[in-house]
Structure 1
Amino acid sequence: MSFLDATIVNVALRTLAADLRTSLDAIQWVVTAYLLAVAAVIPISGWAARRFGARRTFVAAVVLFTVASALCALAQSSGQLIAFRALQGIGGGLIMPVGQIILARAAGPARLPRVMAVVGVPVVLAPVFGPFAGGVLLDWAQWQWIFLINLPVGAAAALASLRLLSRDEPQASAPLDLPGLVSVCVSMVALTYGLGEMGRDPSATAVLALVAGVSLLGVFVAHSLRAAHPLFDIRLYRDQVFRAASLSSFLLSMGMYAGMVLMPLFFQSVHDTDDLTTAALLVPSSAGAAIATQLSGRATERFGGGRTVFYGALLGVAGGVPFVLIGANTPYPVIATAMLISGAGAGLSVMPAMTTAFRALSPDQIGHAAPQLNMVQRLGGSIATAVLVAVLQNGMDSHEPTQAGTMSAFTVTFGWVLGAAVLAAWTALVLARAQRREPPRVDAPAPAPQSRA
């Protein structure tokens, strides 16, 4: 539910911008605010599960997510909607990692790749099925229903959790690292805002935001190295496999969320499709992602995580090349084929990258690694959304409002996406080579996103 909602509004961005009377680069914060809120609460998910109990935390997160969904439907301005989406992200950000904690208790080391493949299904397929669900709801009702649909689902999930999940008692935990949490959260927001503004219109404000973001990130690192109970154990990045896998996850997530945001806008802006047609045109991505996700666990077991990630990243590059070459009159089968390949690349690489990172660590390090990797993925998505929509809006403003002018703006933006895909392939190659020099551990349990906070 939380992953689906992270993507369901993307097909509605143009409608939201029109109804709430704002621009695309402003309304994209409906997506970005959600992703940043998710990234912000992931680091405390393990602490909250220990402090209050995993079952209790999970149910509370579902309830918060559901209430925030109702508030989103009641929003009367873009500012209100962005604020309520951030609140929704706090609940949504706890649902998946705490759910993984519960799942990890029933999973063993030998089943790690296949368990991660199952967990990865909503991660990879949500960027496709979310827009499709949004398109159907927008065609049948108003945009408020993309949030109201969460109410019965959330209520059912909360009741089922209370009924089916075993009770667990709160455990003793170290105090929450508030200085670390505040510094890393503000740093993420400042960096995302600064990069987005640089893509739109470089200014002193954008530079100041970037400087503040980098400075706060430095403060966070220095604090984490000295703190008795840091939010993150950043010493994990000394391991070359974990370091390469983390960077690969960041860049792969950028590509995944880029397609999630740009493709609905492409069909709506260049081809003037309605919401339901747009949703149907996105189906090839889901087909490629579904097939590759199911194969990723076995591929990781057979070829190794690093090589599997590299193969998936290469598919991402192959699927990205056609988008910088197509025109407004390119036949849909060509576009659909490229989407199919791109979806397969995401399905084959995103979760194996996380699996490889986990298997490079000892069991007692997993609790520190999981929230870091989850946060890195969401940060990649939020930065990609902010930057690419800003680049697109800048291109559309600098061209005539014609089909050719709009297509030119998308071509430039797709070029940025291809650049990120090439970087992801390079880091995946580094990961494959590092893993070959440093065989993965076999005693790592299934990842439970807990942090010593």
Structure 2
Amino acid sequence: MTTENGPERLSPATLKLAGILILGAIAPLLDSTIVNAAIRTLGFQLHASVSTIQWVSTGYLLAMAVAIPITGWTVERFGAKRMWLISLMLFLAGSMLSGAAWNVGSLIVFRVVQGIGAGLMLPILQTVLMRAAGGRGIGRLMSVVTLPALVGPILGPVVGGLIVGHLDWRWIFYVNLPVCVLAILLAWRGLPVDSPKKAHRLDFAGLALLSPALAALIYSLSQVGDQGGFGHWEVIVPLVAGVALLAGFGYRALRTTEPLIDLRLLGNRRFAASSGLLFLSGLAMFGPMLLLPLYYQQLRGLGVIAAGLMLAPQGLGSLLARGTGGLADRIGPRPVILGSIVLTALGTLPFAFADQQTNPLIWRPHWSCEASA
């Protein structure tokens, strides 16, 4: 909807609501980049290999993926405000437990708790804001909602480097505590109370198929590097099991009236294209978030602080593009998405040819080779 002077502005009440929700969303998004910057140090401190310590991030993301499909049912059953508070408390508990972890196994388990909280949190944020905005000014609203995703890549690696360089590694998790506590207090006072509705029946069978399918597929792919290729039973067995479970989930979802995820929505071309783009953008984003810190620290010999500074420019680039948030409202989403894909591809291509001797095009300070432990 537009006014005579251009696109309709978001109301003060919607902006206030967005501010409360964004504060909570900052915690998981900042946490992901902080942990990725410190992944090498975590492996050293906990005496774990790269293939094992990567599950600190992979387990977190897998838990998010499992939690997201049940978010809609939980919001209907318990209400958006209550579930937002529960998700924050889960993330808070996971952060406290992760900081107190005694070995890599316990840390991975506690990161799963964090991931469940984050997986519930992000869809609830979008649901609450879309309801408040009434479908108006979506482009402007998304530019506000995505602010944590822009701040995270800028501050996360630097904060992670500073913490690991000067404090105990446990503080990369304890730093979430004040943010979560403040977000809980503001949400308790500021979020509107919504009454739970009569929820549809939760598809437990679908959940029992989808969750192990995702876990098996992720585990299979994680073994490819360790085994040196796909031709090993450690890769093939979980891959086949994951594909079979995923196919079973798809078969059930198309034949039940209340599936965990309604795959029939993919019959809509626009929805299918948007879902595909979201999936591919996730691959393009989360892969480098884990690999680039290891590249700068292991191959280039940079310390955690210097590696964090090397990662910050990608966040600055996202921040510069934030001013175009309302562009999709004016010219439509297609040209914006296509232009974004081209820019992302051009920016990613040089990293495919980077090696140990690639010129970083940046002044290398004297502390760039500091010990990362």
Range of TM-score over shorter length: 0.7 to 0.9
- 1:143-182 correspondence to structure 2 within 5 Å: 143-182=169-208
Alpha-carbon offset, residue 235 of structure 1: 0.9
TM-score where L is the length of structure 1? 0.71
- 1:325-340 correspondence to structure 2 within 5 Å: 325-333=353-361
Q: For residues 302 and 169 of structure 1, do their structure 2 counterparts lie closer, same or farther at Cα, with a shift above 3 Å needed?
A: closer
Q: For residues 335 and 269 of structure 1, do their structure 2 counterparts lie closer, same or farther at Cα, with a shift above 3 Å needed?
A: farther
**Partner of residue 115 from structure 2, selected from 83, 89, 95:** 89
Who is 2:242 aligned against? 213
Question: Percent same amino acid at aligned positions?
Answer: 38
Alpha-carbon offset, residue 274 of structure 1: 1.5
Alpha-carbon offset, residue 335 of structure 1: 11
Alpha-carbon offset, residue 107 of structure 1: 0.7
Alpha-carbon offset, residue 325 of structure 1: 3.2
**Partner of residue 291 from structure 1, selected from 295, 308, 320:** 320
Hey, what's the Cα distance between the residues in 2 that align with 1:23 and 1:65? 26
Who is 1:352 aligned against? none
Does the 8 Å CA contact 2:153/2:312 hold for their aligned counterparts?
A: no
Hey, what's the Cα distance between the residues in 2 that align with 1:31 and 1:327? 24
The alignment partner of 1:70 has SS state of helix
Q: For residues 301 and 335 of structure 1, do their structure 2 counterparts lie closer, same or farther at Cα, with a shift above 3 Å needed?
A: farther
Alpha-carbon offset, residue 217 of structure 1: 0.9
Higher helix share: 1
Of 69-78 and 121-130, more deviation after overlay is shown by 121-130
Letter matched to residue 283 of structure 2:
M
Alpha-carbon offset, residue 146 of structure 1: 0.6
Does the 8 Å CA contact 1:8/1:131 hold for their aligned counterparts?
A: yes
Hey, what's the Cα distance between the residues in 2 that align with 1:189 and 1:169? 34
**Partner of residue 34 from structure 1, selected from 43, 52, 60:** 60
Who is 2:256 aligned against? 227
Does the 8 Å CA contact 2:217/2:242 hold for their aligned counterparts?
A: yes
**Partner of residue 346 from structure 2, selected from 294, 298, 318:** 318
Does the 8 Å CA contact 1:61/1:91 hold for their aligned counterparts?
A: yes
Who is 2:163 aligned against? 137
Letter matched to residue 98 of structure 2:
C
Hey, what's the Cα distance between the residues in 2 that align with 1:327 and 1:61? 41
**Partner of residue 287 from structure 2, selected from 219, 239, 258:** 258
Alpha-carbon offset, residue 87 of structure 1: 0.9
Gapped regions of structure 1 (runs ≥ 5): 337-453
Alpha-carbon offset, residue 124 of structure 1: 4.7
Q: For residues 207 and 265 of structure 1, do their structure 2 counterparts lie closer, same or farther at Cα, with a shift above 3 Å needed?
A: same
Gapped regions of structure 2 (runs ≥ 5): 1-26, 365-373
Does the 8 Å CA contact 2:139/2:327 hold for their aligned counterparts?
A: no
- 1:391-430 correspondence to structure 2 within 5 Å: none
Letter matched to residue 285 of structure 1:
Q
Alpha-carbon offset, residue 169 of structure 1: 1.6
Hey, what's the Cα distance between the residues in 1 that align with 2:289 and 2:303? 17
Who is 2:14 aligned against? none
Q: Runs ≥4 in structure 1, deviation > 4 angstroms?
A: none
The alignment partner of 1:105 has SS state of helix
- Is 1:240 the counterpart of 2:269? The answer is yes
Letter matched to residue 223 of structure 1:
R
Q: Residues 19-77 of structure 1, C-alpha deviation per residue, up to 9 Å, x if partnerless?
A: 11111111010001001101111111121112111111111111111111111011111
Letter matched to residue 113 of structure 2:
L
Matched length = 336
- Is 1:282 the counterpart of 2:282? The answer is no
The alignment partner of 1:244 has SS state of helix
Letter matched to residue 182 of structure 1:
A
Hey, what's the Cα distance between the residues in 2 that align with 1:116 and 1:313? 18
Hey, what's the Cα distance between the residues in 2 that align with 1:221 and 1:327? 41
Hey, what's the Cα distance between the residues in 1 that align with 2:285 and 2:357? 25
Q: Residues 387-407 of structure 1, C-alpha deviation per residue, up to 9 Å, x if partnerless?
A: xxxxxxxxxxxxxxxxxxxxx
Hey, what's the Cα distance between the residues in 2 that align with 1:189 and 1:123? 25
